Amino acid sequence: MELKRVVVTGLGALTPVGNNVAETWDNLVKGVSGAGPITHFDASKFKTHFACEVKNFNGTDYIDRKELRKMDLYTQYAIAAAKEAVEDSGMDLEKEDLNRIGVIYGVGIGGIHTFEEEVANYTLNKDTVGPKFNPFFIPKMIADIASGQISIMYGFHGPNFTTTSACASSSNAIADAFNYIRLGKANVIVAGGAEAAIFEAGLGGFNAMHALSTRNDDPERASRPFSASRDGFVMGEGAGCLILEELEHAKKRGAKIYAEIVGYGQSADAYDMVAPDPEGNGAIKSMELALADAGLKPEDIDYINPHGTSTGLGDVAESQAIAKIFGDKDQNKNLVVSSTKSMHGHMLGATGAVEGIVCVKAITDGKVPPTINLDNQDEHVANLDYVPHKARDKKVGAALSNSFGFGGHNATLVFKAV
């Protein structure tokens, strides 16, 4: 069976550095940090007081007010990014076979804020008025509801489900969408991820693990991938969405084509619940499988957007894994690696989709965003070109994106110029 080719024909983003793709990309290229004091709740009693929040978001700009109250914030974010991507794709839905359009969206946690609110309300009232829950509690909270709500909004009857693999969730969603289309099971899939976990339980849980930066006096410089002075990741939130489409279908309708998705790799560390394999074996396998699937050699990759979270163990293991496959900057002078988490933070279940968009934009615009805050490179990370501080003009013919999640889930995507 001959596999079909799959291209990207639409992009949508809602991030801590921009409420659409254009704003997000512009600020990433400028090296703007999205970090600041938490506004969603009073974080003063927590170890960490800051995060990379979405700014000036108004759900009614995207969703009818009556429907909005039925949705957790993460679903609202998902819909916002999906609407931009669908509009950007230029599809005339009246002419499309909606049975051949699907939605696959990733989320790491889901409706954690809804869960918090409902449990708090129950605890407060159980001894006076008895158990009292909102009738929308379960459908607001469950992780699969974002993909369901997007399909309801547009009437998309194709494959519809959610991938949950922690911080690899939306990369796995894109990989699954890629497979469904190249196997001929759909013409178009709305693929991406969303997360909105910057609330008490999310922040407190990650603080308890000692996973977050506590650089409260300097939030904008707290996310410092590959830096010797890094002290943990910075929580982010938002959504990213890519319209994946079968190449001939896209050409037939005269769609603009951003890039082609040509391969993916998936693996498990099978090592620890939260720590990466220190030898980077799972990351190596994921990248090797992605290259093989894409039919590319290591020297064909011009840019890597790494997982690059700014954690002590993760940055070392991943960078050394990259160097083992691609060579360090003395051996491979073409390859550049930059972590945009230094600006938008770790968007958890949304991060793979947003970083996939970054790879696509690097290909189309010939620019690579920087790794900001890299003042003093850790001697233990591999000697790679991390594009410190300032964006760089560079022709990118092929780009690779890594996403690694708690539980040892590894996912790698490869995008290529058409």
CA-to-CA dists, residue 186 to 91, 95, 147, 181, 341, angstroms: 15, 15, 16, 5, 32
User: Which residues have C-beta within 8 Å of that of residue 12, sequence separation ≥ 6?
Assistant: 20, 21, 80, 81, 82, 83, 84, 85, 86, 88, 192, 239, 240, 241, 242
Instruction: Exactly one of 40, 49, 344, 346 is catalytic; name it.
Output: 346
d(CA 218, CA 368): 25
Tell me, yes or no, if 167 is annotated catalytic. yes
Tell me, yes or no, if 157 is annotated catalytic. no
User: Residue 8: which of 81, 84, 85, 82 has the closest Cα?
Assistant: 85
User: Residue 346: which of 259, 185, 203, 233 has the closest Cα?
Assistant: 233
User: Which residues have C-beta within 8 Å of that of residue 41, sequence separation ≥ 6?
Assistant: 199, 200
Instruction: Exactly one of 113, 249, 307, 409 is catalytic; name it.
Output: 307
CA-to-CA dists, residue 88 to 91, 147, 196, 229, 257, angstroms: 8, 19, 24, 40, 11
> Tokens 């930059």 correspond to what residue?
338
On the CB side of 311, CA atoms within 13 Å amount to: 23
- Sign of the CA dihedral 257, 195, 362, 410? negative
For residue 47, the one-letter residue type is: K
- Sign of the CA dihedral 282, 288, 290, 292? negative
User: What percent of the residues of the chain are helix, what percent strand, and what percent coil, each to the nearest 5?
Assistant: 35, 20, 40
> Tokens 């703007």 correspond to what residue?
32
Helices (H) and strands (E) in the chain, counts: 13, 14
Tell me, yes or no, if 359 is annotated catalytic. no
Instruction: Exactly one of 167, 344, 359, 409 is catalytic; name it.
Output: 167
> Tokens 């254009």 correspond to what residue?
22
> Tokens 């220190």 correspond to what residue?
278
- Which are the catalytic amino acids? 167, 307, 346
